[in-house]
Chain A
Amino acid sequence: MKVLIANDAPVSRHLLEVALKGEGYQIVVAEDGAETLRILEEDGYPRIVILDWMMPQADGVEICRSIRKRAREPYVYLILLTAKGEQTEIIEGLEAGADDYMIKPFDLRELKARVRSGRRIVELEEQLLSARELLRMQATHDSLTGLFNRAAILDMLQTELARAFRERRPLSIIATDLDRFKNVNDTYGHQAGDAVLVEITRRMQGSLRAYDAVGRCGGEEFLIVSPGCAEEDAVELAERLRQNVSIAPVQCARDVIPVTVSLGVATVAGDIVQADEFLRAADEALYKAKRTGRNRVVVGSQVLQ
């Protein structure tokens, strides 16, 4: 774990550096307030800071206030280590956002114990953030394919519709449905059906641009949201998806399962459109693709232009 020692006095700095290196911490050093703030802006910034109060350019209390004001995650545990020992100063330091306060001269054993307390807090926060991230993933992603789930992709659609209107840019969606998927489940079993879904997900993802989003809306239904994509480009994208999905049968154990998809494209060109209306246009195009023989792309965006 990285510890930042922010101190302009060589004696204190060396003492802290030697003591904490011996405890296995990775030490980062700053000799003034500006350097301290710069280090705390970098990616992978130290999570524990031992901060002198009086430093050139920005003092320890200003730094505490600045760090707490920005409220970034993950949390930075701040220990003020200073020769200022009056009660009003201790209160001021803690009120500014310090988590702990030590007065010079200090005992190294006590300092090490206090840094270990900070480390416990930092590690506890890491566990909580990981758990929150896992819950966020579970709430927004489909567990089988790892794609966005229905709620998440529809949220994204709302956001992109607002952005498209604001920036007067086109937005396309592609409603996609795996052809005759019920037959796959009935003939090869649900395990094979799941394997087909995972494989076509992989094939679709390989066909998309970095800024396209794809979600699984239901059993074998998918929705692709493609920002900045005009109708002509959306049709080209849908055709590429169709070809890449059906390029080869899916091999599942000893079964070889042919797969195709039908796709319905809808585009808005920076107009005000309700998400429901937009989705209905793509769905209608998709159903037309199904009705007219499957394994094809149909464009329904004229309805909206």
Chain B
Amino acid sequence: MSFSDRTVPVQEFPENVRPVLDCELALSRVCGDKDLLLELGILLRAETAKLLAAIRQAAERKDFDALQRAAHSLKGSVATFAAEDAFDSAFKLERLARSEQWVGIDDAISALIAEMERVVAALSELDAECKLGRDDVSMQVQR
């Protein structure tokens, strides 16, 4: 099975549960360039650490603008990997920050951090599997 064919059948996922990453979709968006996708994964892991730190600092300072920017950046980056739950969490935080409402922001930050931890773990797993030359790993990384 080739890299691009690797997809866990839909029925293996419980209903209403989405994969952390949909690498098959992500791969199709980059014209099947596996190496490029892995490079982007490395960049996303580094960027995640910086942006989550920026989000925490912005929340402490109650800086809505910085919070909105960081959440927006993270949203754009995870979108490349079709990480739908992480995307939704970042989008929710971005909207709360834009509306300058503190109610619910702490929960939104916690949810985003949790989602990004899953995304980073999934990217690390994918990277390790590719380095080991395994081609039969799932391209949809389950929660």
Could you give, for residues 105-128 of chain A, a 1 whenever the CB lies within 8 Å of some chain B CB and a 0 otherwise? 111110000000000000000000
Q: How far is the CA of A14 from the CA of B36 in the complex (A)?
A: 9
Contact A108 B29 (CB under 8 A): yes
Tell me how far the C-beta of B57 lies from the nearest C-beta in chain A, rounded to whole angstroms.
Answer: 15
A83 at the B interface (CB under 8 A): yes
Tell me how far the C-beta of B98 lies from the nearest C-beta in chain A, rounded to whole angstroms.
Answer: 11
Contact of A8 among B46, B73, B75 (CB under 8 A): B73
B112 at the A interface (CB under 8 A): no
Q: How far is the CA of A133 from the CA of B44 in the complex (A)?
A: 48
Q: Which residues of B contact A108 (CB under 8 A)?
A: 29-31
A210 at the B interface (CB under 8 A): no
A104 at the B interface (CB under 8 A): yes
Contact B29 A11 (CB under 8 A): no
Contact A15 B47 (CB under 8 A): no
Q: How far is the CA of A15 from the CA of B76 in the complex (A)?
A: 12
When A83-B79, A106-B29 are in contact, do A10 and B43 touch as well, CB less than 8 Å? yes
Contact A105 B39 (CB under 8 A): no
Q: How far is the CA of A54 from the CA of B29 in the complex (A)?
A: 22
Contact B79 A104 (CB under 8 A): yes
B63-111 at interface with A (beta carbon < 8 Å): 69, 72-73, 75-77, 79-80, 82
Q: Which residues of A contact B72 (CB under 8 A)?
A: 54, 83
Could you give, for residues 77-119 of chain A, a 1 whenever the CB lies within 8 Å of some chain B CB and a 0 otherwise? 0000011000000000000000000001111110000000000
Contact B77 A11 (CB under 8 A): yes
A253 at the B interface (CB under 8 A): no
Q: Which residues of A contact B69 (CB under 8 A)?
A: 54, 56
Closest to A109 in B: B31
Could you give, for residues 50-64 of chain A, a 1 whenever the CB lies within 8 Å of some chain B CB and a 0 otherwise? 001010100000000
Contact of A15 among B28, B40, B75, B82 (CB under 8 A): B40
A71 at the B interface (CB under 8 A): no
Q: How far is the CA of A14 from the CA of B80 in the complex (A)?
A: 12
Q: How far is the CA of A104 from the CA of B36 in the complex (A)?
A: 17
Q: Which residues of A contact B39 (CB under 8 A)?
A: 14, 18
Q: Which residues of A contact B79 (CB under 8 A)?
A: 83, 104-105
Q: How far is the CA of A18 from the CA of B39 in the complex (A)?
A: 11
Q: Which residues of B contact A52 (CB under 8 A)?
A: 76
B interface, CB within 8 angstroms of A: 28-31, 33, 36, 39-40, 43-44, 46-47, 69, 72-73, 75-77, 79-80, 82
A-B contact pairs, 9 of them (CB 8 A): A11-B40, A18-B33, A18-B39, A54-B69, A54-B73, A104-B79, A104-B80, A107-B28, A108-B31
* 18 further A-B pairs in the complex, CB-CB below 8 A; given A11-B80, A54-B73: A8-B73, A9-B73, A9-B76, A9-B77, A11-B76, A12-B77, A14-B43, A15-B40, A18-B33, A18-B39, A56-B69, A82-B76, A83-B75, A104-B76, A106-B29, A108-B30, A108-B31, A109-B31
